[in-house]
Amino acid sequence: MYFITLCSTPRGRNQLCHPAIAERLLSAARHYHERHRWYLRLMLLMPDHLHALVAPAPTESLHKLIGSWKSFVAKATGVEWQRNFFDHRLRSDESWEEKASYIRANPTRAGLIEPDGDWPYQIQYERGR
């Protein structure tokens, strides 16, 4: 499982949190999950970046998979992505639940919603496919 961050460019401009754009991004993420290209635990969009907890399928390279997804959604939405992305492999002693809590708190920390508010720009899957 990897904790990844993808940033749009330029930073500071809302490209991701428009309902139609967000739905296309999340729909593409669901598509990759349903086609078993990756196992997605959580994806949360912020105005200029996204966070996800994702594990690539055994036959997939993480970098090629993320590149493919970014290219697909860029063509479909016009979102401009920074060239690379940040990834951190979760070790056995790291809890995905702790990372998920950190990710889900991001809109509150940014002042976009009240504590315990509902952030519409996210998807989460439970264990299993």
> Residue 60: pLDDT above 60?
yes
Query: Residue 2: its pLDDT value, please?
Result: 95
On the CB side of 48, CA atoms within 13 Å amount to 8
Is a pLDDT exceeding 60 seen at residue 57?
A: yes
2-124 CATH: 3.30.70.1290
pTM for this model (two decimals) = 0.93
Question: 120 pLDDT exceeds 90?
Answer: yes
pLDDT digits (tens, 9 = 90+) for 65-108: 999 999 999 999 999 999 999 999 998 767 888 899 999 999 99
On the question of pLDDT at 127 being above 90, the answer is: no
C-alpha span between 64 and 50 (Å, rounded): 18
> What is the mean pLDDT of the segment spanning 34-63?
96
Distances (CA, A) of 119 to 34, 35, 40: 23, 26, 18
